[in-house]
Structure 1
């Protein structure tokens, strides 16, 4: 490898290390700030955004099944129950539609 290759590798090593250190510093500053509550809510917000983006452009039976799953999640606070009822609603709507 030439010197320019080693220079690029070295630059990438420094950049990767700097990104990790910056993340640690920023994370600690957020943890002690007034916005720390965001970190507690982040996993749920990520799941909601993934589900919402996957529903875009889906047919009505998918939305209905998602609503059933949401209702089950709110009523029972159990992930497995929500998944099972959502899938049963989706399968039932598919069976009725065919």
Structure 2
């Protein structure tokens, strides 16, 4: 291998290690900061933002199934039942509407 290839491998290894080290340092500082309570809510916030973004340009049928899924989520607090209800809600609504 040439020196350029070894240099590229070394640069990528240093960059990969640096990214991991930066993540560890930043994560430790975040846990000790006033934003630590936000970290516990972050997974839910990410899911909500993904769902909202995916619903943005959907037809009313999809919104109806999402409302059904939301209702099941509020009643059961169970992910599996929410997914099943959303899919079944979509199937029923598409059968009734079409």
- TM-score normalised by the chain length of structure 1: 0.92
For the aligned residue pairs, the C-alpha RMSD in angstroms reads 1.1
How many angstroms apart in 2 are the aligned matches of 1:80 and 1:22? Answer: 36
1:18-57 equivalences in 2 (<5 Å): 18-57=18-57
How many angstroms apart in 1 are the aligned matches of 2:61 and 2:50? Answer: 18
Match of 1:79 in 2: 79
Shift of 1:88: 1.7
Match of 2:60 in 1: 60
How many angstroms apart in 1 are the aligned matches of 2:17 and 2:80? Answer: 40
Shift of 1:56: 2.1
Q: Structure 2, unaligned stretches of length 5 or more?
A: none
Q: Structure 1, unaligned stretches of length 5 or more?
A: none
Residues 6-47 of structure 1: per-residue CA shift (max 9 Å, x gap): 111111111110110010000000011110112111111111
Shift of 1:64: 0.8
Which secondary structure state, in structure 1, belongs to the residue aligned with residue 5 of structure 2? Answer: helix
Shift of 1:2: 0.9
Residues 48-87 of structure 1: per-residue CA shift (max 9 Å, x gap): 1211121121110100110110111112211122122212
How many angstroms apart in 2 are the aligned matches of 1:44 and 1:18? Answer: 28
Divergent runs of 4+, >4 A:
none
